[in-house]
Structure 1
């Protein structure tokens, strides 16, 4: 993919870019489980579900409803995604039975915020995406470039990117950290009312899955870790998303996508079939009608 240079304000752009880097480290990517902080005190006793408005235990759903999200392969191929909706470019393209990816990053040289570099991660050539299944509920792919490897969890309209081997490094001293959310810019983000409606659906799915897992893990050590992770999720999500886009709608969209991703991950952990696909109880055939009484003989 040809290198495209855009007018940047380097100091301001990278102030936001690297201020977000520290916050990104505090928010688990979809499916990650944070260990108990070293030196922290885990709550004693089994975790309890919060009481309902009348003080009674809330009803635990039996399953999580089917996901209403469009498939990632219907929304992502051919679109240009940008890091935090602002910088670089990431384009996934269908290629036969698989997919390829082209990425242009935005980084800096020699730890200098003013020395901006925008390298193409593969010299203008696409790289094949290697499927890694759905270990945490989202479709996961890997792309190997010269200088780094990217792992992507794909969701409708966005890609959650991580670099397991560290930031991408190039011969000219340019360093690019691609880890984070890549998605549309402000002009491509849906309207407020659509985001609000989608957020309501995502929150319900997340809460249903949370309550199922909370009940399932009530007496296990994993239950305490799960509660700690859930308690930290809203604040971490807000910190990570505050630098998405360049207008007020950007952070709201980013929070929606992290909520949807978290809901998909917890629903995957719940396992089983969604409520819409639960098999019905076997149908018992009705007993045959009783034979009519024999005609009275004359």
Structure 2
């Protein structure tokens, strides 16, 4: 829900010098800076837990993420390595909707989960963000999920997903929850002209290597995740968050209605596609 840290092309500072400003998501617009190979950005509240977790993922073989380089004494800013590549910023380019891209996103998420499975969840990089799996660390097989694998948070190289960025919403949960959250963006469940949602749900499931039990559960978990995401947005609007209020007013309640209506009305179609073969 953060929308990533690269929602618009990068722009140079005044006169072409100084840091590059990376357009942040709703929470970090104008506050993400790139200085050469280093990115400085607002730190999530759990940064003191998150950085060790990112290092632990790298130690367990998943290096496709930023290297944590430290954070300010106040904990308000963090420093990370810049991850080179292409990010599918809006308006999303055609290559972002190919089966190859979609399959590779599923495979990338699986590699992260495999590494995360070797990292203890207790005391891990997670906090109640409003978007985390309600079952949390108590769920069998729980790992620290990314929770925001949207198009803007995946770095591509050669048309394939190569790295994940922006772990601000990381929290413990079921791996299938993370798959469901990812599917909401990439399938996408809100609809997009010319895309076969049932087919597109099966592609990342294949890239991920999702087991039969989780395939059967995935449509229902997507419904659950969509309801959680809507509640998160409406909570931010209710408390007067200007950025979320503006976005909500622009997109409208009807868009969220469609987000929830299609999965509920077409449960059999994606379920059949996921279990076929």
Q: With a CA cutoff of 8 Å and minimum separation of 6, indicate the structure with the bigger relative contact order.
A: 1
Q: Which structure's residues are more often strand, by fraction?
A: 1
Q: Which structure's residues are more often helix, by fraction?
A: 2
Does the pair score TM above 0.5? no
Q: TM-score, normalised on structure 1?
A: 0.29
Q: TM-score, normalised on structure 2?
A: 0.31
